[in-house]
Structure 1
């Protein structure tokens, strides 16, 4: 049973998704505890959701959880990806606010204080936004170009240079539960729900331990999901471009016909325009067939209604029963 004092004290949940982060989880926990010690007026729970790590991540977390009952662990039955697992962790939180904090220490734990301060000012969403990064300039530039692209294409206003790092009030988490999205683009859903956002800028530090778990496929998957979930512009571009190409083809054919009639003996187009036109139109068709396939794939994923993750084990959740 909770005491009356516990009932009055706000609970803040920190959710940390991890996969093969044996070099970072203990240090992350230590830094988070240092921050929480400066916020004695709140209660905290720290939920680690592990995507079936193959190293000692879970072993280290179990040791921490044995010493600290406020540390809770969810171990997935397999790797369910970098989108589904964090969302499932957020949905298991019981806090008045939830903070999403990844395990690689590239999101600075000391910013938790700033998030909570803005939350107490009345903001329901507080986001950490990277103004710059110590990662390679080329990668940061690519990410920036992507955020600019999706910002132009999206039907809603998405926050640029935010990876999900931030604080979310319970009024954001509860609609997320009702959406029952089997493959959620969390950053887009937060913008879809609405509410005024507080932005806190920071310099993203370089990863000091371990290697990144992102690769070209995961980055591409996130990028396409952000576009297909929140924009119909690519589909409309296909329609408009198809109409424009048809009109251009008609004009070119009329021009060729007129040139042939006027310069019958001297005009010879040859095969080059035919071959170039064939390859050009084929590439355009394949591009938009791919775009259409992304939308169909998204629909297919939605109608399957599979769970976000399947849990293999959970630790220290018994006191919530």
Structure 2
């Protein structure tokens, strides 16, 4: 009996890509001696994506569709799709062709050689220079402060064995940082280099907020350094404040008539301290929000409809 591969594709407003994607994956899998299912989880698209998917599912029973009741975001939906997989291994692929279909046989080959986690890693990209530079800086920064080594320039696309998927299920994190989660589970991660092309069609769903969300999530989930820095900053700021206050006090005592404190130093000092406090409170808020999200135990997604399951 041949092994089964589950391919997971999250979608949101991908009417220009989804039909071609399903066709290309079907062609690629027909070359391989494996049974497969293609699970597409849609984040309540408001274009023609859902109607196109339903037509595809009518013709191809290997295409299984989950339609969410609303847009649950770019983090929760793909992981929920993985947890529905029934295959011996699960492959996560984006729907915009920035994860080349040709990676599928490479993932499977590494899996057959014993790897349990295989990730695609960008060696180069057709994205704009600013975006590439920003991502490169972020990965270097988060690796410096993270408690676990995080894979640089990975998109989340890769192959994960049934055992790894079961481990993710046991962790039961309602809003995980996926790359960090994999590093927590195993240090044995195989990387496959690839060139990342431009999006095939439609508009990218990544914006400043989504990139900020991923960045902060990675920091608060996998690093204690920001909280430790807050303690050190508070301590050293207190020491410096006491030293400055002492100097000003003695100067005023010694040169009572000639030394004027003035308003400007006080205003600058107050604004500096207030800015530091607001910044640190913001970071504490991110940690509190993460704790709240975890303790509420909300589902990853809520389904509206399933097809071909």
TM-score, structure 1 length as denominator?
0.93
Counterpart pick for 2:140 among 141, 148, 160? 148
Partners of 2:254 and 2:187 in 1: CA distance: 66
Partners of 1:11 and 1:117 in 2: CA distance: 14
Q: Alignment partner of 1:78: what SS?
A: coil
**1:245, distance to aligned residue in structure 2 (A):** 0.5
**1:19, distance to aligned residue in structure 2 (A):** 0.3
Deviations 1:229-264 (A, max 9, x none): 111111111111000101111111222223334443
**1:218, distance to aligned residue in structure 2 (A):** 1.8
Partners of 1:132 and 1:203 in 2: CA distance: 5
Q: Alignment partner of 1:218: what SS?
A: helix
Deviation beyond 4 Å, 4+ runs, structure 1: none
Partners of 1:131 and 1:261 in 2: CA distance: 65
**1:134, distance to aligned residue in structure 2 (A):** 0.8
Partners of 2:122 and 2:284 in 1: CA distance: 32
Match of 1:3 in 2: none
Match of 1:76 in 2: 68
* Residues 1:13 and 2:6 aligned together: yes
**1:195, distance to aligned residue in structure 2 (A):** 4.3
Which blocks of at least 5 consecutive residues in structure 2 are unaligned?
none
Partners of 2:254 and 2:107 in 1: CA distance: 74
Partners of 1:37 and 1:213 in 2: CA distance: 31
The answer on whether the counterparts of 1:158 and 1:191 sit within 8 Å (CA) in structure 2 is yes
Q: Alignment partner of 1:123: what SS?
A: coil
**Any residues of structure 2 matched to 1:87-98 within 5 Å, and which?**
87-98=79-90
Match of 1:30 in 2: 23
The answer on whether the counterparts of 1:19 and 1:51 sit within 8 Å (CA) in structure 2 is yes
Partners of 2:108 and 2:187 in 1: CA distance: 17
Match of 1:54 in 2: 46
Match of 2:91 in 1: 99
Match of 2:56 in 1: 64
Match of 1:306 in 2: 298
Partners of 1:258 and 1:146 in 2: CA distance: 46
Partners of 1:287 and 1:295 in 2: CA distance: 13
Partners of 2:42 and 2:295 in 1: CA distance: 26
**Any residues of structure 2 matched to 1:1-321 within 5 Å, and which?**
8-39=1-32, 41-317=33-309
The answer on whether the counterparts of 1:32 and 1:110 sit within 8 Å (CA) in structure 2 is no
Partners of 1:35 and 1:267 in 2: CA distance: 81
Is the deviation greater in 188-197 or in 9-18? 188-197
**1:215, distance to aligned residue in structure 2 (A):** 2.0
The answer on whether the counterparts of 1:126 and 1:167 sit within 8 Å (CA) in structure 2 is yes
Is the deviation greater in 28-37 or in 255-264? 255-264
TM-score, structure 2 length as denominator?
0.97
Partners of 2:67 and 2:103 in 1: CA distance: 27
Which blocks of at least 5 consecutive residues in structure 1 are unaligned?
1-7
**1:165, distance to aligned residue in structure 2 (A):** 0.8
Partners of 1:296 and 1:195 in 2: CA distance: 28
